[in-house]
Chain A
Amino acid sequence: MATRANNPGSVAVLNPFAGVDFSQLERSLQRPRTLMNFALNLIVASMTILALIPLFSVLWMLLWRGGQKLSLALFTQLPPAPLEPGGGFGNAIVGTLIMVGLAVLMSVPVGLLTAIYLAQTRVGRVAQVVRFSAKVLTGFPSILAGVFAYGAIVLVTGGYSSIAGAVALSILMLPTIILTSEEAIRMVPTRMKEAAFGMGATHTQAVLMVLLPTALPGILTGVMLAVARAAGETAPLLFTALFSNYWLWSHGRAELMKPTASLAVLIYNFAGMPFPNQVELAWAAALVLVLLVLAANLIGQSFSNRQNQQV
C-alpha cells in the first residue's frame, strides 16, 4: 500500500492523490520551460517558411512566365532567328536528353564499381585516397570540368560535340554517384552480408545477389541527384557542346560529333537577348527543364519504391 510520508492517516491511504495540486497539470505559458518550448517551436516554424520562400517564388515565377508560352510547337520546332515570331527548342530538349543519357552511361558503371570497392575496403590507403578525391570532386567548379573536356576531347577530336559535353557532365556526376552508392551499399545490414557468406557465397556472389539488390533504391537516388545536377549545368557545355540551331539528326543519323543544343545553354543565350520572343522562350525552356528533372526524379523514385515492395 502506498502511503506517503507527508500525508499520514487513513484518508491519504484511501486517496493517494489528496496532496496533489492539479493546477500543475494545466498547460500554461508562465512556466519557463513551457515558454521556451513554445518560443523555439515558433522560431523553427518561421525559419522553415523563410527557407521555402525562395524555392516557391522561383517555381511560381517559372510557372507564371514560362507557362504562358507552353505549347506543342516548343517541342517540335527549332529556335527562331531574332525578330522571327514563334519557334521552339525541340533540338535543345533532345540534346539535353542525349548528353545527360550518355553521361549516365559513362559515369554509372565507373561510379558503381568504385563505390563497391570503397564499401568493401573500409580502411586501406588506396580507398582513403579515392574517397577523399571523390569528396574534393563534389565541390569541383563545373567550369573546370568543361575546360578539362575541352582540352581532352574538343581539341583532340577537332570540334565541339555532344560526346565532349557528355564527358564534362559525367565528371560532374561521378562524385555524387560514388559517394551516395557507397553509403547505400554500406547501409546494407552486416547480418545480410553474413547470411550470404554463411550460405557459402563468394565475394562476387554476395555483392551481385545481396548487396546491390538491397542497396538499389539508395543507388538510384544517387544517380537521380547526379542527373538533376548535370541537366542544369551550363558552364561545362559552353566549352564542349556549344549550341546548335539544328536538329541532332541529319540524313537519318545522329550527329554526335557536331555542336549540340541544350536547354541550359539555350536559356543562357536567350535570356540575355533584347528580343521579347527569345526571352519568353528562355522562360519556357527553364520550366521544361525543371519538369524534366522532376519527371526523372519521380520515375526513379517509383521504380525504387516498387523494388522495395516487391523485394
Chain B
Amino acid sequence: MASESVPIPNDSSNMAPLFSAQRNGDVVIDCHIKELYYGTFKAVRDTVVPIAKNAITAFIGPSGCGKSTVLRCLNRMNDLVRGFRFEGHVRYRGHDIYGSAIDPVAVRRFIGMVFQQPNPFATSIYNNVAFGLRLNGYKGNKGEKVEKALRSAALWDEVKDKLHKSALALSGGQQQRLCIARAIATEPEVLLMDEPCSALDPIATRKIEELMTELRQRFTIAIVTHNLQQAQRVADYTGFLYVDTTQGGRTGYLVEFGESHQVFQDPKHKHTRDYIRGEFS
C-alpha cells in the first residue's frame, strides 16, 4: 500500500501513481490542489486525493485545516464564494471539472452534496425529495423515484404516512436522512458529505453511518468528519490534513493518505500520530 511522503513536492509529475496500487483501482475523482485562495488568503496547498469508486473516503484533521474546502472543490461549490481562486485540477472520470468548457451547475448534478446542518427546504417531505427531479425536468413517475430514494435513505417507513407534511417538522436525524434522500433521488455518481453527523445525537449518527455503508454499494462517497471513530468505522480510505502556520497564514495541506486501517493503526507521520492519539503541539 503506497502512502506518499509529505509534504508533497510541488512538482506535479510526481503525484500521478499515488493510487495505482490500491484495491479498487477505479478512481472516480482525481483531486489535485496545488494552491487554493480565498481572496489573498491561501487556504489549502499541495493536496492530492484520489476518490475511489464505491468506497468511502474520509477527510480528517484539526479545525481550519481546509477539509471542507477540499471537499467543496470536488463539485465546485467553492465557486459560490467570492474571491475563490484555484490552481490545480480536479478530474472527474478523466475530465477536468475546472475546464473552461465545463458548467459548474451540471457538475453538481453528477456530484451531489450533503451538508453539516440538515437543510431541508421549507416545503413538504415529498417536494424536498422531488426537488432534484423537478430541476432536471424529470417527466416520469416522480412518486416512484421519491419512494425509492426515501427507502434508500432508510426513511420511508418513518415518513410514508406524512409525505405531504412539512419537512421542518422532522427530527434532526430524520432531516439529515431526508437530505440524503434528496441528494440521491437524482442518482448522482458521487456523494460529498460535509460533517453530516456533527449536528446529530449518537443514535441518529449511528443510523447515518449504517446508511453510508449501505449506500457505498451504489455511490462513491467522500466525507469530512471531526469524529475519528466515525472515520475509522466507515471509511475505506482516510486523508489527514494539517494546518501549516510556518508561512504566516493558516494554510491546510494533506499530510497523509491511505487505507483507513493503515492511517489509524500505523500512521507514517508524526502529525498524524499525534492527532490520532489526541496529542497536539
Contact = CB atoms under 8 A, between A and B. Distances in A.
Nearest to B168: A311
* Best-surrounded residue of A194, A196, A198 (most CB of chain B within 10 A): A198
Given A201-B135, A214-B121, A311-B124, A195 B115 contact: yes
A214 B132 CA distance: 17
B197 to A, nearest CB: 16
B61 interface: no
Interface residues of A, number: 21
Contacts of B106: 200
A191 B117 contact: yes
B73 to A, nearest CB: 13
Given A213-B122, A311-B124, A199 B115 contact: no
A311 B119 contact: no
A54 interface: no
A9 interface: no
Interface class of chain A by DSSP: helix
B131 interface: yes
Contacts of B75: 198
* Best-surrounded residue of A205, A214, A308, A311 (most CB of chain B within 10 A): A311
Nearest to B117: A191
A194 B166 CA distance: 20
B179 interface: yes
B121 A192 contact: yes
B80 A200 contact: no
A199 B186 contact: yes
* Best-surrounded residue of B105, B112, B183 (most CB of chain A within 10 A): B105
Given A194-B77, A310-B166, A199 B132 contact: yes
Contacts of B186: 199-200
Interface residues of B, number: 28
A195 B216 CA distance: 22
B77 A198 contact: yes
A198 B123 contact: no
B135 A209 contact: yes
A189 interface: yes
A94 interface: no
A3 interface: no
Nearest to A311: B123
A309 interface: yes
Given A209-B131, A311-B166, A200 B109 contact: yes
A195 B80 CA distance: 12
A205 B105 CA distance: 11
Contact of B179 (A195, A209, A310): A195
B119 A200 contact: no
B166 A309 contact: yes
Given A191-B117, A197-B108, A200-B109, 8 more contacts: A194-B115, A195-B115, A195-B121, A197-B77, A209-B131, A209-B134, A210-B121, A214-B121
